[in-house]
Amino acid sequence: MTPVTAGAAGPSAASQAVPCEICGNRQHDFRFEKDGYPFLRCRSCGHWFVPWTDTDQKLFETYEQNFFSEGAYADYQRDKPALQRNFRRLVERLRRIQPAGRLFEVGCAYGFFLELAQRRWESEGIDIHGEGIRHARNTLKVTAREGHFLKVQLPEAHYDWVVMWDTIEHLRNPGDYLDRAARILKPGGRLALTTGDVGSWMARLQGKRWRLYYPPHHLHYFSRATLGRLLRDRGLEPEVWTTVGVTRTLDGMLYRLLADRKPERRRRFYEWLRQRGWTGTGFPITLDVFDILLVIARKAGGQG
Ligand SMILES: [Zn+2]
Confidence of residue 263 (pLDDT cuts 50, 70, 90): confident
Distance separating alpha carbons of residues 40 and 239, to the nearest angstrom:
29
CATH class of the domain whose range is 56-245+288-299: alpha beta
User: Residue 126 to residues 13, 81, 150, 250, 290: CA-CA distances in angstroms?
Assistant: 35, 21, 11, 29, 28
The pLDDT tens digits of the residues spanning 14-29 come to 455 789 999 999 999 9
For residue 69, pLDDT beyond 80: no
Instruction: Tell how far the Cα of 220 is from the centroid of ligand 1, in angstroms.
Output: 12
Reported pTM: 0.86
- CB atoms within 5 A of ion ligand 1 belong to 20, 22-23, 25, 42, 44-45, 47
Alpha carbon of 205 to ligand 1 centroid (Å): 23
**Of residues 230, 95, 104, the one with CA closest to residue 173:** 230
For residues 88 and 275, the model is more confident at 88
For range 246-272, the mean pLDDT: 77
The alpha carbon of 166 and the centre of ligand 1 are apart by a number of angstroms equal to: 21
